[in-house]
Amino acid sequence: MDQLMKTKLKMAHGVTMLVVFAMMIVALKAAFDSHNLKTPPIPNMYTLHSWIGLTAAVLFGLQWISGLTVFLFPIAGPKLRANLLPFHQYYGSCIFGLVIAASWMGLLEKSIWAISDYSSKTGEGILVNVLGLMILFFGLGVTFMLSKFDKTNKEL
């Protein structure tokens, strides 16, 4: 792959992740506001969903900053970038897995707490389950595509 194409792909990846980061900040603000502004306020960070979600958010932020500084605007030399790439790919996949898990837990929490007849398989409950399956298939598709990338070319 020529260097110009590689640079364009890095830029597209970086911009996409920046948009995701901005959306994540908005989502976190909305989540905390929905708890803090309710009367009476609901405690924050008391469920596994919130712990995993915030962990994924923090790790994503760190991953984005490290990817920006090491790969997009390289402050490290080519050898260090080549050595760090497998870790960047691995941690990116792990963060993606955390996001999938947090999404499922959030769907389940909301379903159990907000849908009074969730166990009777109403339309709303089925919609939540279908959404959960769509997240599953999205995750499977992304991880499949990631497994198909050529990892032999270590030129950065």
pLDDT tens, position by position, 101-114: 999 999 999 899 88
Averaged pLDDT score across all residues of the chain: 91
Angle of the 48-67 helix axis to the 3-36 helix axis, nearest 10 = 150
pLDDT tens, position by position, 27-61: 999 999 999 999 999 999 999 999 999 999 999 99
| pLDDT score recorded for residue 155 | 53
CB 59 within 8 Å of CB 26:
no
Is the domain spanning 3-147 CATH 1.20.120.1770? The answer is yes
Reply yes or no on whether the pLDDT at 77 is more than 60: yes
CB 105 within 8 Å of CB 48:
yes
CB 65 within 8 Å of CB 71:
no
Reply yes or no on whether the pLDDT at 148 is more than 70: yes
Confidence band, pLDDT 50/70/90 cuts, at residue 152: low
Closest CA to 30 of 66, 22, 99: 22
SS3 per-residue string spanning 53-121: HHHHHHHHHHHHHHHHHHHHCCCCCHHHHHHHHHHHHHHHHHHHHHHHHHHHHHHHHHHHHHCCCHHHC
| pLDDT score recorded for residue 1 | 66
Reply yes or no on whether the pLDDT at 131 is more than 90: yes
| pLDDT score recorded for residue 2 | 85
CB 93 within 8 Å of CB 56:
no
| pLDDT score recorded for residue 142 | 94
| Predicted model pTM | 0.87
User: If you average pLDDT over residues 99-127, what whole number do you get?
Assistant: 92
| pLDDT score recorded for residue 22 | 97
Q: Please give the Cα distance from 143 to 99 (Å, whole number).
A: 13
| pLDDT score recorded for residue 21 | 96
| pLDDT score recorded for residue 149 | 75
| pLDDT score recorded for residue 127 | 94
Q: End-to-end alpha-carbon separation of the chain, Å?
A: 10
